[in-house]
């Protein structure tokens, strides 16, 4: 005698899909949390909106910024830094670090002097810095206040930088530019 197979109730689409949806959902949640941790503490992407840093960066370049490096060491002169703009902290700016806390700075004949000594082209990018603005004009010597930094754009003729709006509080630092990743023909490490 043949026995009939007991009828197995058919599962609905949603019942069959629950394990798959749960698995993908968990993976997406973990990926999202990791991405937020990395973006918040490790590396963040930015887009260059202007030509104030030409020739180092051009409009539309996309860069990666190391956000944890300055937790372990002080920023160094000549590094390209990203920071919260002192006049509107909701905006991120990118410039080259020139003067550090406690230093005397002067722009004279297109050159930069720190504590009376000219800094070398290895430490900066622009060949000529213009004497302009409240904090860089008329060849006056400027003392960088405690816990602040002084930064200039590489395209000195077309950059609103510390010469105009003053000093960057160290607490406004976001990080150091490390890589241009877009467009593909400009991919390179930032010096």
Q: Is residue 11 part of a domain?
A: no
Q: Is residue 136 part of a domain?
A: yes
Q: Is residue 2 part of a domain?
A: no
In the predicted structure, residue 15 carries a pLDDT above the cut 70: no
CA distance 98 to 104: 11
- Residue 118 tokens read as 């000219």
Q: Which domain holds residue 73?
A: 45-189
Question: Considering 67, 95, 106, 176, which one is annotated as catalytic?
Answer: 95
In the predicted structure, residue 156 carries a pLDDT above the cut 60: yes
| Cβ-contact 48, 61 below 8 angstroms | yes
By three-state DSSP, how is residue 141 classified? strand
| Cβ-contact 129, 156 below 8 angstroms | yes
Residue range 49-65, pLDDT digits in tens: 999 999 999 999 999 99
State pTM to two decimals. 0.81
CATH of the domain at 57: 2.10.109.10
Q: Is residue 90 part of a domain?
A: yes
- The mean-pLDDT minimum among 35-44, 100-109, 121-130 falls in 121-130
Split into its structural domains, the chain has a count of 1
Averaged pLDDT of the chain: 87
108 is catalytic: no
Q: How far is CA 146 from CA 80, 82, 98, 101, 102, in A?
A: 20, 19, 15, 5, 6
- Residue 16 tokens read as 């069959």
By three-state DSSP, how is residue 133 classified? coil
Mean pLDDT of 10-37: 75
CA distance 87 to 105: 21
Distance of CA 102 to the CA centre of its chain: 24
Q: Is residue 21 part of a domain?
A: no
156 is catalytic: no
CA distance 151 to 162: 6
Q: Is residue 73 part of a domain?
A: yes
Which DSSP state fits 16? Answer: H
In the predicted structure, residue 1 carries a pLDDT above the cut 60: no
């Amino acid at each position: 005698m043949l026995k009939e197979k007991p009828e197995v109730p058919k599962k609905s689409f949603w019942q069959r899909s629950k394990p798959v949806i749960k698995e993908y959902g968990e993976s997406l949640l973990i990926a999202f949390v990791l991405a937020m941790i990395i973006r918040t503490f490790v590396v963040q992407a930015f887009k260059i909106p202007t030509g104030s840093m030409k020739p180092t960066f051009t409009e539309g370049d996309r860069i990666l910024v190391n956000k944890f490096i300055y937790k372990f060491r002080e920023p160094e002169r000549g590094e390209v830094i990203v920071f919260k703009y002192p006049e509107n902290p909701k905006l991120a700016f990118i410039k080259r670090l020139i003067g550090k806390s406690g230093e005397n700075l002067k722009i004279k004949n297109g050159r930069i002097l720190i504590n009376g000594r000219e800094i070398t082209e290895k430490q900066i990018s622009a060949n000529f810095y213009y004497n302009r603005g409240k904090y860089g004009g008329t060849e006056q010597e400027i003392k960088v206040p405690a816990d602040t930094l002084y930064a200039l754009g590489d395209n000195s003729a077309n950059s609103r930088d510390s010469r105009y709006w003053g000093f960057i509080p160290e607490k406004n630092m976001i990080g150091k530019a490390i890589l241009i990743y877009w467009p593909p023909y400009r991919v390179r490490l930032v010096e």
